[in-house]
Structure 1
């Protein structure tokens, strides 16, 4: 029995990017798929760009009101006619062999339910491949990761644009949390990988656009609603460490936005034993110390050098 994919693309004001995104799907070497575009009340010409493609594999669903990224993904999941759901944000794109590679992963690891490949990032047309904690054995191209939280502490080896999930997973773990507008992917990963392994291919077959002004939350909501990760602290120590790391990241984000009261409330939830020395120092540092660190990291990034606290 062959593998069929439903490709879910949430769409909100991506007129400048969605044609490239859609073409990267339609030009896949593996052809057994449908494309579900969920238009979340775009106010630009994004929908016209999609309609111009005129491909019978494209199904368009329009929300009557703006609901956000998580709701758009959930709409796509419920509309999918195939068992394997592939997600792609409307400003990212796949290499032509992406679905073929995922299909081969499904065949190689038929007992698994979640699949992904590595990715590259596009910063102003400069491309970077994030470092991962996977063993650097170039002969091994695919692997099953049974400790997601260990491998993904710090830099994630996947994004929402290079993950494929069997439809049955959502019945067990739940759908995307529609009350969350920031880091909704982290909320889903914790629930998903508490129960499932990840079948992973080490090639970077997806490109993620960074620094797009419309991509800060990937939807139209200006107010960030963070996931309540403390609800998942009953898991393993590695899961707790993963969660505390994101508490730390959220605190630093709030600090940079001068939301000091919110930051202080969140900081009280952090168990410092799960942070390293550098993270503890940065967590407690005032904004006038922290901000130059962020600027310095961005400068290094422009030269292809990645500096981090993990």
Structure 2
């Protein structure tokens, strides 16, 4: 299949035992007009050796002298890219062979008001390769209100953006506490329509012994970062929450939990009352008790 150049961006650090699987899955794509940009955040293991051992002129390997923040690292990869379409792959995951082909076919068929497409992904335990769950959201069209309440269409490797849309968004943000594909997609959905390939085209692996960005332990001062993140969401999508106040409950919930854990009692009580004013439920009423069981 011929068509527009697709840039695939992977950022990595100390993944010598995992990254070859990701690279092989890219090189096995049925859609061949790709460039594969791998940005290494100053690995101290043999990640560089693994990448250099794979001869394919579609691979562009960028070795940073220091380990920069994730958003900055991804955006470095984007600046080095040339593709009309932009997509991503985490270095511990893999594409199925038709991932790029099917997303390109869909995105090409859509009018310009569609900013990106996504697909489904399947989680596996990397130790025994057992199935864990399928992430199969089904939102399509113009969905600015549906995406701010919870990370329905999150999943970095599932996205394929038109280049100008990703550029217009400014990529990932690194000043919102927690790097979030959810936040990126939510911003895009405020202006553009979306569609999806109704098929799992990505295998996501957990329990592989290396730290994942989605792990709670990845972040130092996690609860402080949670406060920054949820406050950002409430401000960034204020117009949506003013129209649909109940969609803000998960963000006030996150703020309440974080403030409880940090012993900011007045703030926690404020957010707790805010939640109850928006909706009474057993889950909401029992927030103080639930805090006790959070690690």
Fold match, TM over 0.5? yes
The residue aligned with 2:195 is 199
The residue aligned with 1:15 is 16
Distance 1:132 1:55, change over 3 A: closer
Q: What per-residue deviation string (whole Å, max 9, x for no partner) do you get for residues 1-21 of structure 1?
A: 922200000111222211001
Distance 1:285 1:95, change over 3 A: same
The alignment status of 1:54 with 2:55, answered yes or no, reads yes
Q: Matched residues in 2 for 1:240 and 1:278: separation?
A: 19
The alignment status of 1:115 with 2:112, answered yes or no, reads no
Following TM superposition, by how much is the alpha carbon of 1:261 offset from its aligned partner in structure 2, in angstroms? 3.0
The alignment status of 1:45 with 2:38, answered yes or no, reads no
The residue aligned with 1:214 is 211
The residue aligned with 2:33 is 32
Following TM superposition, by how much is the alpha carbon of 1:246 offset from its aligned partner in structure 2, in angstroms? 4.2
The 8 Å contact of residues 136 and 200 in structure 2, kept in 1 or not, is answered as no
Worse overlay, 181-190 or 16-25: 181-190
Q: Structure 2: any 5+ residue segments left out of the alignment?
A: none
3-state SS, counterpart of residue 172 of structure 2 = coil
The 8 Å contact of residues 148 and 237 in structure 2, kept in 1 or not, is answered as no
* RMSD, matched Cα: 3.1
Following TM superposition, by how much is the alpha carbon of 1:267 offset from its aligned partner in structure 2, in angstroms? 7.2
After TM superposition, list the pairs within 5 Å mapping 1:1-310 onto structure 2.
Answer: 2-111=3-112, 112-124=114-126, 125-130=129-134, 132=136, 134=138, 144-147=140-143, 149-150=145-146, 153-154=149-150, 156-180=152-176, 182-212=178-208, 213-217=210-214, 222-224=220-222, 225-226=225-226, 227=229, 228-237=232-241, 241-249=246-254, 252=257, 254=258, 259-261=261-263, 265=267, 268=270, 271-272=274-275, 277-288=281-292, 290-291=293-294
Q: Matched residues in 2 for 1:3 and 1:32: separation?
A: 7
The 8 Å contact of residues 116 and 199 in structure 1, kept in 2 or not, is answered as yes
Q: Matched residues in 2 for 1:60 and 1:53: separation?
A: 11
Aligned length in residues: 280
3-state SS, counterpart of residue 66 of structure 1 = coil
The 8 Å contact of residues 117 and 200 in structure 1, kept in 2 or not, is answered as yes
Distance 1:36 1:69, change over 3 A: same
Q: What per-residue deviation string (whole Å, max 9, x for no partner) do you get for residues 84-126 of structure 1?
A: 1111111111100000110111122142221110111123422
Q: Matched residues in 1 for 2:279 and 2:69: separation?
A: 32
Distance 1:277 1:115, change over 3 A: same
Following TM superposition, by how much is the alpha carbon of 1:132 offset from its aligned partner in structure 2, in angstroms? 4.8
TM-score by length of structure 2 reads 0.81
3-state SS, counterpart of residue 150 of structure 1 = coil
Q: Matched residues in 2 for 1:129 and 1:9: separation?
A: 23
Following TM superposition, by how much is the alpha carbon of 1:175 offset from its aligned partner in structure 2, in angstroms? 2.2
Q: What per-residue deviation string (whole Å, max 9, x for no partner) do you get for residues 110-146 of structure 1?
A: 4222111011112342223446563xxxxxxxx7332
Q: What per-residue deviation string (whole Å, max 9, x for no partner) do you get for residues 39-75 of structure 1?
A: 1111221121111112100001122221122111111
Q: Matched residues in 2 for 1:123 and 1:274: separation?
A: 38
3-state SS, counterpart of residue 10 of structure 1 = strand
Following TM superposition, by how much is the alpha carbon of 1:166 offset from its aligned partner in structure 2, in angstroms? 1.4
Distance 1:229 1:157, change over 3 A: closer
Q: Matched residues in 1 for 2:79 and 2:171: separation?
A: 10
Following TM superposition, by how much is the alpha carbon of 1:284 offset from its aligned partner in structure 2, in angstroms? 2.9
TM-score by length of structure 1 reads 0.77
The residue aligned with 1:301 is none
The residue aligned with 1:297 is none
